[in-house]
Amino acid sequence: MRTYKTGEFAKSISKIIPIRDLATASFSDIDVLIIPSQSNMLFLLAHKQRIFDYEANGGIVVTFGHQSEEWLPNVKWELRPTNFWWWLEKEPKSGLVLAGNDHDLFKNYLTLADATWHQHGVYWPENDVETLVATDDGGSVLYIDKTDGKGIWINTTLDPDYHYGSYFMPATERFLRGFLPWLEHGDI
């Protein structure tokens, strides 16, 4: 919760809805609903329709970290082995490529290095989405889905909230420093 409640990023969060309160919480006064990494999947599945209704009525839903294909729309998940120390290898390669270099997020707010740390897997979206960060074999690590409803899904397998909140991985701090202002002021 450090990411959302304290420090420089708390100013970007106007309301925190505990996951156990999803059934009764009002979404009418929020522009962006962020689903943190490491969220309880049973609660998300139980309240999936409320989140889908929010998006269908023009809301923006952001998901961090691996989220189950059981509740995310139109996507398949592929678990991959995690190499936590790829950057220590000779001629290190993260396996990530910038697919959306013309997108406002990467033109004005982030670099690929800001979105690069280890990865746990990839999404394979089924709709015609805009992938911004991909693996070198085409798996999606960060994508924007505007294909259903009036709203927007922004899904990433990256878990910056977890790592920033755990006090390690400087890239996650840079990511949040660009990503959260983009959600507020950028061209999504």
The CATH number covering residue 53 comes to 3.40.50
Q: Are strands 130-135 and 121-125 parallel, antiparallel or unpaired?
A: unpaired
Total domains in the chain come to: 1
For 20, the domain range is 2-185
- Give the angle 62-65-70 at the CA atoms, nearest 5°: 80
For the segment 91-115, the average pLDDT, to the nearest whole number, is 91
pLDDT tens per residue across span 124-178 = 999 999 999 999 999 999 999 998 779 999 999 999 988 776 666 788 899 999 9
> In sequence order, what E strands does 99-167 have?
121-125, 130-135, 140-145, 152-156
56 pLDDT tier (thresholds 50, 70, 90): very high
What is residue 60's predicted lDDT score, i.e. its pLDDT? 97
**pTM for this model (two decimals):** 0.93
What is residue 109's predicted lDDT score, i.e. its pLDDT? 98
Does residue 6 carry a pLDDT above 80?
A: no
